[in-house]
Structure 1
Amino acid sequence: MTTGQQTAHRPRAAAAEPLTEQRQRGAALPLLGLAAVVLAATGVLGLAEAEVVQAWRTLLVSIVVQGMPFLLLGTVISAAIGAFVPPSLFAKALPKRPALAVPVAGVAGVVLPGCECASVPVAGSLIRRGVTPAAALTFLLAAPAVNPVVLVSTAIAFPGQPAMVAARLAASLATAVTMGWLWVRFGREEWLRLPKLPGGHTHGGSRWEEFRRGMQHDFLHAGGFLVVGAMAAATFNVAVPPGVLALFTDSPWLGVVLLALLAVLLSVCSEADAFVAASLTGFSPTARLAFMVVGPMVDLKLIALQSGSFGRAFAVRFTGTTFVVAVLVSVLIGAVVL
């Protein structure tokens, strides 16, 4: 190819990059504005003073406020990894064999005191930097569930019950590692449709500019889906009568399934879900354990975040399998420890 031909192609490449950013903003900003539109509509229609609308609004804001700081933390870490950390670091830190890298990644989740909102962009950045998907996905599941903040909150919510803390740690770590090993055995990389960052670090370019653009990309991309998940969780919370829950408390097996489903629908932040579980005194300890194990790994906002970051096909396969594994492991650990 001649120099003139190369020059002719450069304007196209330069124009494609802003277009990509515009499309990403166009997909994320309407989702971010959806909640504001709904909130404004309740006032226009005279519904703002209705008790159910006030409850819905309060829950929506509380979920977003809980999740947004950790989402911001995750996007900052994700952008910093992409801009400043050489890919060789992860290759050296993790074992070469994916089957051995999975448990190491699970234990590494202890060092990040964040919720599931932070784990998705971090896992995406790890995969982009060459970490095996099995290890990155194990970290995604483990980080919100086994970090010290969550374990301390569980100990406070269940005073005098160290077995509950131990059961949560064991069941969450076992679920994350099991999912990593299942990915090693059955996963396919084509299921992961990881969005490309808007540009990348090039020789002589600014790493701080790459950091800024990477953080902007992940925050806009994931933030919109967080709002959608929060709206769905708030709607379920105000729509289901409390008396319906009492129908399941007499059956241990139905109680486990119900609380696992509630964990998905309520989308409580992992730092706070232990207090919700402790308040469900009519359910068995194993059912409450399932609530705490499933919630940080499979909930509405996490499903939405994974769909936006990795693709809908991946989210359906991964979250469905994670739910089943988490429930089974919770029942097994609960029967032994609790």
Structure 2
Amino acid sequence: MWVAIGRPEWIRRSRPAVTSELPTTLRARLALGAATAREDLVEAGSFLALGAAFAAALHVLVPQDWYRNLAGNMLPAGVVMVALAIVLALCSEADAFVTASTSALPLMPRIVFLVVGPAVDVELMTMQAGTDGRGFVARFAPLALLVTVVCGTAAGTAILGWR
């Protein structure tokens, strides 16, 4: 759609001029730091709002009985959280909102959700299919999923024990 109707002059992003030298004065370094922080805040802000919206939707749309049923079952809770991480395709900053909203679930599946989300999701698989082909995704996504689930579970077990 952007290719059909978009115009370059509609994009207004102020970026500090790229130079081969870093600013030497304190004032210039502070200005560069402030500009970078503003840009990061604007870029991440939309994802944070989206994550908060998903978290709120989980509280409103998912019956509390489902949370209670999953709370005592580590494996089903883990499967649900992994599936949620793959489908939501949020950025890692927004994943924290979703994790916090599922506080009724055990900690281990929530940690696995935080590890799987940035590594394997629908958006990444689509981008990888576009650049590297479907064959790559068919091989890479299951491997990345296995590695992230194992690493998330290992990290959670090392930190929390099995709970």
What TM-score results when the alignment is normalised by the length of structure 1? 0.33
1:144 aligns with 2:121: no
1:62 match: 39
What is the distance in 1 between the residues matched to 2:64 and 2:89?
23
**1:246-261 map, 5 Å:** none
Aligned residue-pair number: 136
Q: What amino acid maps onto 1:73 in structure 2?
A: L
Please state how far the C-alpha of 1:104 moved relative to its aligned partner. 4.1
Correspondent of 1:159 among 121, 126, 132: 132
Correspondent of 2:107 among 126, 133, 142: 133
Correspondent of 1:78 among 31, 55, 59: 55
1:110 aligns with 2:86: yes
What is the distance in 2 between the residues matched to 1:60 and 1:165?
34
What is the distance in 2 between the residues matched to 1:67 and 1:74?
11
Q: What amino acid maps onto 1:159 in structure 2?
A: D
Does structure 2 retain, via aligned residues, the 8 Å contact 1:78–1:125? yes
What is the distance in 2 between the residues matched to 1:118 and 1:62?
17
Does structure 1 retain, via aligned residues, the 8 Å contact 2:71–2:106? no
1:183 and 1:76, CA in 2 relative to 1: closer, same or farther beyond 3 A? same
3-state secondary structure, aligned to 1:140: helix
Q: Percent identity?
A: 21
What is the distance in 1 between the residues matched to 2:97 and 2:42?
18
What is the distance in 2 between the residues matched to 1:61 and 1:153?
27
3-state secondary structure, aligned to 1:114: coil
What is the distance in 2 between the residues matched to 1:155 and 1:56?
36
What is the distance in 1 between the residues matched to 2:65 and 2:101?
14
What is the distance in 2 between the residues matched to 1:168 and 1:99?
19
1:253 match: none
RMSD value, Cα: 3.5
Please state how far the C-alpha of 1:105 moved relative to its aligned partner. 2.2
1:56-77 CA-to-partner distances (Å, cap 9, x unmatched) read 3443233222321111111122
Please state how far the C-alpha of 1:55 moved relative to its aligned partner. 4.8
Does structure 2 retain, via aligned residues, the 8 Å contact 1:105–1:139? yes
2:20 match: none
What is the distance in 2 between the residues matched to 1:111 and 1:172?
16
What is the distance in 2 between the residues matched to 1:98 and 1:79?
23
Greater length-normalized contact order (CA 8 Å, ≥ 6 residues apart)? 1
1:172 match: 148
1:95 and 1:186, CA in 2 relative to 1: closer, same or farther beyond 3 A? closer
1:219 match: none
Structure number with larger C-alpha Rg:
1
The structure 1 segments of at least 4 consecutive aligned residues displaced by more than 4 Å after TM superposition are: 52-55, 180-184
Q: What amino acid maps onto 1:135 in structure 2?
A: P
Does structure 1 retain, via aligned residues, the 8 Å contact 2:72–2:106? no
Please state how far the C-alpha of 1:112 moved relative to its aligned partner. 0.7
Does structure 1 retain, via aligned residues, the 8 Å contact 2:87–2:121? yes
What is the distance in 1 between the residues matched to 2:129 and 2:151?
20
Q: Unaligned regions of 5+ residues in structure 1, if any?
A: 1-44, 188-338
3-state secondary structure, aligned to 1:67: helix
1:124 match: 100
1:179 and 1:105, CA in 2 relative to 1: closer, same or farther beyond 3 A? farther
Please state how far the C-alpha of 1:80 moved relative to its aligned partner. 3.0
1:151-173 CA-to-partner distances (Å, cap 9, x unmatched) read 333455x6369279445444333
Please state how far the C-alpha of 1:183 moved relative to its aligned partner. 5.9
1:301 match: none
Please state how far the C-alpha of 1:106 moved relative to its aligned partner. 2.1
Q: What amino acid maps onto 1:66 in structure 2?
A: E
